[in-house]
Structure 1
């Protein structure tokens, strides 16, 4: 079985932009996403979209059977397991790998009420003495871990409005008054109104960068004198040479031009 020479791992707005750049360049490609939500985020792109999770062996078999020649990892900054699996599959097949790293703006805001940490457990330790009402804007993936680490807190969770996510919240015992089902990113004013309505004692979020509205989440929180805990991104895996890391669409376009030149030689 053969197919497009380029395979993109995505499920983010970053991946959609990369796919649109490939469309503009007239390149065929295939996009992998983990969930149907990731497929929706891809929007109206020309490439085939494959839905489903794969481990490193399944990835290697998939890429080999389709004669892929270049892999682009544009998955979520916090998808460290996926990053490692993609890297392992590419090493096994000796495939070139380009990793898109969303630029960080973690240092754009400094404030006495802004706490930066490197893990969920550390974030929960900081949150415990700060009040009962904890607003999570960290997504649905780790809700069970937050329930376990903050059993005495009244959790408020902002999550994607999908049936699967809402069922997950319900299974964890979260009531309707605790679930805020919305699809972002959101403006400063929107987030400020949310904080004023929910009245959290502390907010826990992630270092999501500009596409995830990091500053728009943090600034109004601090303006209202609400402590904000940010879980920083995992350290980048040693999965690709420095030359194969890109942090902007322009850098990706340059890398694409180089790949096309090498392919033609």
Structure 2
């Protein structure tokens, strides 16, 4: 059984690690190529886009893929819809591996919005020293905000303009610790945090640190996802689903 994993996430890499070496299974992981030095999963790896739905459909057919796993980032909405359309066109079963979103708890001061533009519009009046943890893409939404706002931007790779004039860039990669996030908020005198609802544990400590410090958090809600696609929350659940699939020639275990 040939499985194509649309990856680039922690969960995708973990799924590849769990499946690597399984008898009767061939594994290919696809990375978008947006990170300069990604952590490569085991098994076959391809890097770069497919060329939209038609390109992905052609790849699935050409490489005789039996199952497609969408393990992309929760905010890679366009790719998820391409995956659903391509899987239907190529008549290949599709499984979505999607980490659960974050849920506010007592003490959180969240303001939920639907886009980066709405997040930017919400900032004036909330704080003046902003911890921006939405990645290096989309910073243009914050570029024209008042000059009295200062931004700490954390990303894996250095962002490219446009971005706010008063910006300090912190190059770092999760997972992050609670002690580290507490220190970061205190050291940079952060009084408002902006994040996407990425979910998962790797970057969640910032939410706890913000709650402890009484710092408000602007949370960008997830974009819509394709309907009618089976969804599992963890790599382990994905393994169970895949090994029970009729295309797998050996029984689980």
- TM-score, normalised to structure 1, is 0.84
TM superposition shift of 1:131:
2.7
After superposition, the C-alpha distances for 1:162-200 in whole angstroms (9 at most, x for unaligned) are 3xx34x1xx336679611111112111101111111112
In structure 1, the residue matched to 2:91 is 94
- TM-score, normalised to structure 2, is 0.88
| 1:126/1:175 CA distance change after superposition, 3 Å | closer
Superposed CA RMSD in Å reads 2.3
Equivalent positions of 1:206-221 (< 5 A) are: 206-214=196-204, 216-221=205-210
TM superposition shift of 1:9:
0.3
Give the Cα–Cα distance (whole angstroms) in 2 for the partners of residues 133 and 39 of structure 1.
30
CA contact (8 A) 2:66 2:247 kept: no
| 1:38/1:58 CA distance change after superposition, 3 Å | farther
1:200 maps onto 2:190 in alignment: yes
1:257 maps onto 2:243 in alignment: yes
In structure 2, the residue matched to 1:30 is 28
| 1:263/1:224 CA distance change after superposition, 3 Å | closer
| 1:30/1:116 CA distance change after superposition, 3 Å | same
Structure whose residues are more often helix by fraction: 1
| 1:64/1:245 CA distance change after superposition, 3 Å | same
Q: Any stretches of 5+ residues in structure 2 without a counterpart?
A: none
Give the Cα–Cα distance (whole angstroms) in 2 for the partners of residues 187 and 219 of structure 1.
10
Q: Name the count of aligned residue pairs.
A: 247
Give the Cα–Cα distance (whole angstroms) in 2 for the partners of residues 176 and 202 of structure 1.
15
1:73 maps onto 2:62 in alignment: no
Question: In terms of mean alpha carbon deviation, does 220-229 or 186-195 score higher?
Answer: 220-229
Q: Any stretches of 5+ residues in structure 1 without a counterpart?
A: none
